[in-house]
Amino acid sequence: MHCNYCQKPIVRNLKVKEILFPWTLPISELCDDCRKSFVPLKKAGSCPGCMRQAASFCLDCQAWQRQYPDYEFAHEALFAYEDSFAQWLAMYKFTGDYRLRWTFAQEVRQALKKYPGFILCPIPLAKERWQERGFNQTTGFLQAAGSSYQELLHRTKQDLPQSKKTREERLRLAQPYRLAVSPEKIYGKKILLVDDVYTTGRTLFHAARILLTAHPAQIRTFSLAR
């Protein structure tokens, strides 16, 4: 097997389960060097609202709480958005290296076990962006993790990529989403909104606001990085 990211051969001892049941072998995994290059986030010592390093709710989440007083803040991210992750994301999302959807499949699969009964809702792309890129990076890594999802939202507006906007421009983003299903499919359900990266939170809060109009029982948010 080769590392999904750097393509170096991976040599390791097989687990007893993998020897007896070879179909349980992971389709893809990272070598130790690549795995160590990504910085995992821990909930201890981080903002309970967005997982930024903070002793309590960070200033951003306090501002969002004033804007969304009835929203329950609970975001989970797996990795810190630093140089190594940014380089990986550029290869996956912007260069279009679709094989990289497998990079964090094991970590995503394990993390999503904490959300039983939740409908996974990926953040959608506008039609123009999908045609340009050829895939939705979020549904890509969910598929690689073997996670089922439902596309509850539709993006109505094409805009510049978030990576090309300043923080202020991201925060001023107008509402780009509408429901893609009837409200009855959301009413009383638990929803986990999934995106690739949490930056300002503007994208996820826009999406959550639309879902809230259909009165779900609960909304949580999840991303690969923060």
Show me where the domains of the chain are located: 1-37, 46-225
Q: What is the pLDDT of residues 81-123, one digit of tens each?
A: 999 999 999 999 999 999 999 999 999 999 999 999 999 999 9
What does the pLDDT read at residue 163? Answer: 60
Which of the two residues, 48 and 225, has the higher pLDDT score? 225
What pTM does this model have?
0.88
Of 194, 212, 213, residue with least CA distance to 204: 194
Of 71-85, 154-168, 199-213, the one with minimum mean pLDDT is 154-168
Mean pLDDT (whole number) for 55-65: 92
Alpha carbon dihedral 226, 81, 147, 103, in 10-degree steps, equals -170
Mean pLDDT (whole number) for 207-212: 96
Q: Residue 189 has what DSSP assignment?
A: -
CATH topology assigned to domain 46-225: Rossmann fold (3.40.50)
Which of the two residues, 83 and 22, has the higher pLDDT score? 83
- Residues with Cβ within 8 Å of residue 77, at least 6 apart in sequence: 41, 50, 51, 198, 222, 223, 224, 225, 226
The whole-angstrom separation of Cα 190 and Cα 221 is 11
For the chain, list the strands marked E by DSSP. Answer: 75-79, 118-122, 153-155, 177-179, 190-197, 218-225
Q: What is the mean pLDDT of the chain?
A: 89
Of 87, 2, 99, 110, residue with least CA distance to 39: 87
